């Protein structure tokens, strides 16, 4: 399955858990990113607690070393390499500032967001492990009416969703609508449109969302987020928030503010999602069609 499992920036070595299985993700000195099973077959130590040596990872327990393909290449205590010491390896590639469980030349959701690599846009990345099943996080990503009540940058007194249009094309579902935002601080008061903000939200199968919102004047924000299942009750989200690069918007203080704001926004969603109990999706508002179409896409 194609998942975004983290961001490229700052990667040295980290633990990645996908569908209940532990992996070690690391960047070798050549710059290549590799992902292997995290359990050393010798005595079961977690390779995530080891270290990177060249393009190999060294077990913290006895120093056994594995290359990017999971082959056991060095046992410091012996002249010979024991049989059966290799571990599983998994194809990963970097694209758009993210790391994907994908093979070379496999189509990626990043192809729908050129701003990820556009030098005229600011890119602010983040990643976090969250409570909640990936199913509920996908529903949240395709829910355009919750923002008025969960987040402080939308107007809870005017939650109407206007001009709704939903369409499915190939591997994605598009949702176009107009919602009413509000200023979350003095800093954003001048950005607020009088007659609502046009939103274009695209869900790309199996677990990526691209949300574009137009505010007043030339202010525009894009959030690219992707999900990966950790286990039945936890999900990893990785994201990039983008906005046009202008003298006002591109400075360390503004970038830090939006970096922190994304973590705050995700935490607000998590507070709801971690407490969600399953209900059949039989009671819906018109704007919920976006969610229903996204689920149909996943069933294909």
CATH number of the domain residue 172 falls in: 3.90.380.10
* Same-domain check for residues 123 and 233: yes
Q: How far is CA 217 from CA 48, 192, 193, 194, 223, in A?
A: 48, 9, 8, 11, 19
Say whether pLDDT at 236 is over 70: yes
Mean pLDDT of the chain: 94
* Same-domain check for residues 71 and 132: no
Residue 10: name the closest of 130, 118, 127 by CA: 127
The residue among 169 and 254 whose pLDDT is bigger is 169
Say whether pLDDT at 292 is over 90: yes
How far apart (Å, rounded) are the C-alpha atoms in residues 278 and 155?
27
At residue 183 the predicted structure's pLDDT band, cuts being 50, 70 and 90, is low
- With left for phi above 0 and alpha for psi between -120 and 50, is residue 137 left, alpha or beta? alpha
Domain boundary among 70, 100, 130: 100
Domain boundary among 41, 71, 100: 100
Say whether pLDDT at 18 is over 80: yes
* Same-domain check for residues 63 and 130: no
Domain count for the chain, please give it.
2
* Same-domain check for residues 55 and 182: no
Q: Report the CATH number at residue 62.
A: 2.102.10.10
* Same-domain check for residues 273 and 192: yes
pLDDT of residue 258: 87
Residue 38: which domain range? Answer: 4-100
* Same-domain check for residues 212 and 169: yes
How far apart (Å, rounded) are the C-alpha atoms in residues 246 and 218?
10
pTM above 0.85?
Answer: yes
* Same-domain check for residues 15 and 124: no
């Amino acid at each position: 399955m194609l998942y975004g499992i983290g961001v490229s920036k700052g990667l040295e070595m980290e633990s990645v858990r996908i569908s209940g299985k532990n992996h070690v993700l690391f960047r070798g000195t050549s710059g290549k990113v590799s992902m292997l099973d995290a359990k050393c077959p010798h005595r079961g130590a977690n390779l995530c607690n080891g270290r990177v040596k060249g393009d190999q990872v060294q077990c913290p327990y006895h120093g056994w070393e594995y290359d990017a393909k999971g082959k056991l290449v060095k046992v410091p205590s012996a002249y010979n390499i024991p049989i059966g010491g290799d571990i599983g390896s998994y194809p990963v590639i970097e694209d758009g500032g993210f790391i994907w469980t994908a093979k070379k030349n496999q189509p990626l959701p990043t192809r729908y967001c050129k701003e990820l690599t556009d030098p005229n846009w600011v890119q602010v990345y983040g990643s976090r492990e969250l409570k909640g099943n990936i199913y509920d996080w996908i529903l949240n990503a395709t829910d355009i009416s919750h923002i008025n009540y969960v987040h402080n940058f939308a107007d809870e007194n005017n939650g109407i969703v206007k001009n709704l249009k939903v369409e499915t094309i190939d591997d994605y579902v598009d949702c176009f609508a107009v919602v009413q935002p509000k200023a979350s601080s003095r800093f954003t008061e001048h950005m607020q449109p009088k007659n609502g903000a046009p939103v274009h939200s695209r869900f790309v199968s199996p677990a990526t969302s691209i949300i574009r919102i137009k505010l007043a004047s030339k202010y525009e924000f894009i959030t690219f987020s992707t999900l990966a299942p950790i286990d039945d009750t936890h999900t990893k989200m990785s994201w990039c928030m983008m906005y046009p690069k202008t003298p006002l918007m591109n400075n360390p203080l503004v970038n830090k503010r939006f970096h922190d704001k994304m973590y705050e926004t995700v935490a607000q969603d998590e507070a709801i999602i971690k407490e969600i109990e399953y209900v059949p999706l039989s009671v819906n508002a018109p704007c919920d069609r976006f969610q229903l179409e996204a689920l149909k896409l996943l069933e294909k």
